[in-house]
Structure 1
């Protein structure tokens, strides 16, 4: 072949390669478009990557007069139930979606435990259920919490009688030959027109009868012509003269905690704490990295029990008023990966050891955060402890576990 023939063949090959390149580029573009559409359709299914192939359980009904916690219906997920005040939980408080697509346990119902069932009202009184209590509506001429007292001749309950300190003479003046008498503020006229006297008005009782509540958040003290509110030890009266606020002894340095301990404020008092790390056993040992956190020392490669032990143990102290409204989020637990290092692709939260089983539930608030929720009202004074654990997984393989030990002090008072 001469030079011209060689050049012609090379040009034909160049045109052929350019045509192949255009067709290959177009095919790649079409394939990328289809892959993007497929990925968008798959992402619309919640947690499809994590729970692909998992069976789903049917949705559970919320029990009448109760609440349900938990919205996931895939295998391994839990649903929790609680009842409203005045109702008792009958059946399991927690049901788990099993591998065969059915729920564990039996149906949960809330049974009425009304206090009026026992007919506590006497002498024809009508019982009315209220929040954590009942009230007797008494017929005429009967009074008392159970309509047990006759009141035909009784003086008003809000009037202070037979105490000279709570009685005063009225201020009288003659106007157009007629005598007019009046009492100072905080007193009311009692007796006949010829023999009248000013009796003290018990403002604490008047407020209770007219408004159905307490004038003071704690104790109302009646005094001649007026009243004042008092607070329990460890609390101070607020400027409104009726409300009480806890005194933070830790903040105001009114505690007696020794060096090496930490002051933790609580309702009406304080406590000095110095939490200790778990005891060493086998290859498992811990070191205290802060007053409220312990970290596990490195494990030997061959010790599986060491790797399964909590990597960190933290201590948390909460103070709650008595009868706190529920549900209430008390504590959040989350994970964060160090810069430049991939974090776990899934987390599992749970409730471990504790002294109040059934009082709390652990619920995921987002992919990286779990919440400890109080679902039963607590009456103080009381102390509880509950362990919350968070396990990290990567490619469905266990990586590490973290434990938070939550200590809760419930005040005797609801403020």
Structure 2
């Protein structure tokens, strides 16, 4: 115990020495950082451009002349600024551009008059046109001034702002020109002076995964919009189409004795009727079900007829992937020892198949895709047997309405 205590005291002294050394190093580092900060601030304070003089008959805006800062220049009323409106303090500690000057507008008019421009009060329209032309030429001489123009010298001017061709927005500064276009337009022309509409519908066709619209894309100047076929409404995203349920909102024209079935892009008016056969008679026990009346004793033809016939209507889209489960038929109770499922008939049997999916359940499968519009029928038969003797047949008629669209 005594040796352990001595060891702990030695470790404590060593840690105290390390702590003292760390604190001294930290104080020294802080002093160096402060000195570096002060020297840096002093450098930035010294790194400034000389104070620019305001132009005669004008004034300067801005009191900070450090590197990277700007100053602006304005002229008094009746004077025109010749030169850049803004100058920047460069890394070389020199101001960008040339020193601007303010020229009297009277002097400008004298200059134009000396170049053969008529400025009489009774000037004709041609004189005014020549004055505008000369003024434009004079403005072009001031290449260092910052102006925003929308020029289309060699191109036809569009009749309306919604045209697919518009002039570009050009900025002239220090002898260089930078032109931009509005959103949805791309710059073109020999001098980048034309903005041409981007056809988003052409860039993203329907066949590509990144298509803009699920159905039809209509290009507009600077943008686009999506259109849906009849029976659909445009979704909130502005690109997808949502089916309109005509049966639910009562916009169908089905009569009272017919049933409205909503489909993708429309609706169908169907009539559910019980079959009329000489072997058996049926009565409608519900809007979608017919039951066979009891057979006479010994009437084998009647007992071979289905005990019940159910009607079901399904709406699907075109070219739906296959195989796909469409419908399931189940027996509520089983009296015999065997239950069988199969296809009894219907139009388009080559598209369907029936499989056993449980002890009392059979499944109707779509095995090949269907290109709409189309109407197909499948009859699923469920037979109940006892010692290979038929106890009853139950028929389910499934009608498939295939939309002409894939959505």
Look up the SS of the partner of 2:349 in the other structure.
coil
Deviation at 1:408, TM superposition (A): 0.8
Aligned position for 1:384? 376
1:274–1:291 Cα contact (<8 Å) kept: no
Question: Superposition pairs for residues 86-235 of structure 1, below 5 Å?
Answer: 165-193=163-191, 196-208=193-205, 214-235=211-232
The higher radius of gyration belongs to 2
Q: Could you tell me how far apart the structure 1 residues matched to 2:184 and 2:224 are?
A: 9
1:392–1:401 Cα contact (<8 Å) kept: yes
Look up the SS of the partner of 1:300 in the other structure.
coil
Deviation at 1:299, TM superposition (A): 0.6
Deviation at 1:374, TM superposition (A): 0.3
Look up the SS of the partner of 1:204 in the other structure.
helix
Deviation at 1:212, TM superposition (A): 5.4
Look up the SS of the partner of 1:404 in the other structure.
strand
Coordinate RMSD, CA, aligned: 2.1
Aligned position for 2:20? none
Aligned position for 1:41? none
- The 1:215/1:191 distance shift into structure 2, 3 A limit, reads same
Aligned position for 2:322? 326
1:346–1:367 Cα contact (<8 Å) kept: no
Q: Could you tell me how far apart the structure 2 residues matched to 1:243 and 1:222 are?
A: 16
Q: Could you tell me how far apart the structure 2 residues matched to 1:211 and 1:175 are?
A: 43
- The 1:216/1:376 distance shift into structure 2, 3 A limit, reads same
| Deviations 1:254-275 (CA, angstroms, capped at 9, x unpaired) | 1122112211101111112221
Q: Could you tell me how far apart the structure 2 residues matched to 1:187 and 1:324 are?
A: 38
| Deviations 1:73-120 (CA, angstroms, capped at 9, x unpaired) | xxxxxxxxxxxxxxxxxxxxxxxxxxxxxxxxxxxxxxxxxxxxxxxx
Deviation at 1:217, TM superposition (A): 0.5
Q: Which runs of 4+ in 1 moved over 4 A?
A: 161-164, 209-213
Look up the SS of the partner of 1:259 in the other structure.
coil
Deviation at 1:365, TM superposition (A): 0.6
Q: Could you tell me how far apart the structure 1 residues matched to 2:207 and 2:339 are?
A: 54
Deviation at 1:402, TM superposition (A): 0.6
Look up the SS of the partner of 1:208 in the other structure.
coil
Aligned position for 2:365? 373
Question: Superposition pairs for residues 175-324 of structure 1, below 5 Å?
Answer: 175-193=173-191, 196-208=193-205, 214-282=211-279, 284-324=280-320
2:201–2:219 Cα contact (<8 Å) kept: yes
1:336–1:343 Cα contact (<8 Å) kept: no
Q: Could you tell me how far apart the structure 2 residues matched to 1:410 and 1:211 are?
A: 24
Look up the SS of the partner of 1:358 in the other structure.
helix
Deviation at 1:208, TM superposition (A): 3.3
Question: Which structure is higher in helix share?
Answer: 2
Q: Is 1:349 matched with 2:349?
A: no
1:315–1:405 Cα contact (<8 Å) kept: yes
Look up the SS of the partner of 2:363 in the other structure.
strand
Q: Could you tell me how far apart the structure 1 residues matched to 2:331 and 2:198 are?
A: 60
Aligned position for 1:10? none
Q: Could you tell me how far apart the structure 2 residues matched to 1:177 and 1:215 are?
A: 41
Q: Could you tell me how far apart the structure 2 residues matched to 1:301 and 1:364 are?
A: 33
2:317–2:402 Cα contact (<8 Å) kept: yes
Q: Could you tell me how far apart the structure 1 residues matched to 2:234 and 2:204 are?
A: 19
- The 1:271/1:212 distance shift into structure 2, 3 A limit, reads closer
Q: Is 1:336 matched with 2:332?
A: yes
Using structure 1 for the length normalisation, give the TM-score.
Answer: 0.57
